[in-house]
Structure 1
């Protein structure tokens, strides 16, 4: 069944968040802080690892083009995201949900940060594409296990907002899965690899944000992930 991977992912996030809520009350602030710092460092390493692997897998002679696409995707995608103000829309969604369930801590922070961690990165992109193209949810099932563990830790530190991050996951990964079949002919290995590289850069940037080194509107950078696909589509149509 197409989309089962995303459904499992969403359910596991909910379960992990509910478990995390059990630990939240008994966790002192200083413990929450050190846990978030540890997660941030792990996220940065995973992002950097993904970027380096993507660059090393680049075919001989294509490194310059890869770097140009990477930089161009980040720049153009960020401009588009800023224009669409995705960050504001995510926060509005968080505020809407919070009004429905009642004010509980810093709901928006947990919702937005968790949504970014779960939606950005190679596993979300490649897993959703493989689920749509081959009806193989194995990557998303593996991602679900990781997301479930992260949800426990995130919820214990950031609160119940993390639980509702399953909504963007359903929308984001579900959309990629559904569109994969339609766009199959254009989703070459190179395109997917380029998208993964950009996604892993944003994963690294999430770690910077979690460490509070610099506040980055990462939500507004999400369109950058899809810019390599747009580039290759335009290139195919022109040449």
Structure 2
């Protein structure tokens, strides 16, 4: 079953998030310190991903083009409205962070990265779900911790995670017919690098060092593929 790894990953995120909801009433000073720890760890993950790039110009152009598109269509505002609308249908006890922030933060952490892409490709091309199941265990523990501070929005992130990884897995069943392996491997490196910078931005925002509109940078995950293709042609 092509989607087995993706479904297990999604189920583990839900389990971790639900468990985290039971710990939302811990004292605020604990939440603050935990959030600082999460922010530092997220920054480290982002840096490790970002330095993998072989072509910094591709990363730069991807971020610039993605930022222009995101600002033009007001992507972050739309994501905030979507997250808050979904959150309004449920009861949440967390008043410090919006549902949208939890949704966007968790979605980026769970979706962007080598394990999400490579794991989904392995599921589609080879029917091997080990990477996604391993990622699911990590995501489950991460969801538990995130939910204690960011609230219900983390639970909702399972929707884009399943759609994103599921789409890649289904696409991967046909991808070898269209893309050479060398091109695919190089593209994964650059997508991971761009995603790493977005994850780094999450960490900076969680630590309240910056207030980067990460949602408006999300189109860069798409534009990096186009720019990488053009770069290879040139």
Question: What CA distance in whole angstroms lies between the structure 2 residues aligned with 1:123 and 1:212?
Answer: 27
SS of equivalent residue, structure 1 residue 23: coil
Question: How big is each residue's C-alpha offset from its partner over 1:49-99, in whole Å with a ceiling of 9 and x where there is no partner?
Answer: 2222x14xx4xxxxxxx1111111111122222333332232222122223
Question: What CA distance in whole angstroms lies between the structure 1 residues aligned with 2:78 and 2:126?
Answer: 32
The aligned counterpart of 1:39 is: 38
5+ residue gaps, structure 1: 59-65
8 Å Cα contact 2:117-2:165 kept in structure 1: yes
5+ residue gaps, structure 2: none
The aligned counterpart of 2:131 is: 139
Q: Cα RMSD over matched residues? A: 2.1
| 1:226 equivalent among 222, 226, 230 | 222
TM-score (norm. length: structure 2): 0.87
Question: What CA distance in whole angstroms lies between the structure 2 residues aligned with 1:181 and 1:86?
Answer: 30
Q: Is 1:153 the counterpart of 2:152 in the alignment?
A: no
Q: Is 1:49 the counterpart of 2:41 in the alignment?
A: no
The aligned counterpart of 1:62 is: none
SS of equivalent residue, structure 1 residue 188: helix
**Which stretch has the larger CA shift, 219-228 or 189-198?**
219-228
8 Å Cα contact 2:24-2:93 kept in structure 1: no
Question: What CA distance in whole angstroms lies between the structure 2 residues aligned with 1:178 and 1:82?
Answer: 31
C-alpha change, 1:235 and 1:113, in structure 2 (3 Å) is: closer
SS of equivalent residue, structure 2 residue 212: coil
Question: What CA distance in whole angstroms lies between the structure 2 residues aligned with 1:3 and 1:222?
Answer: 24
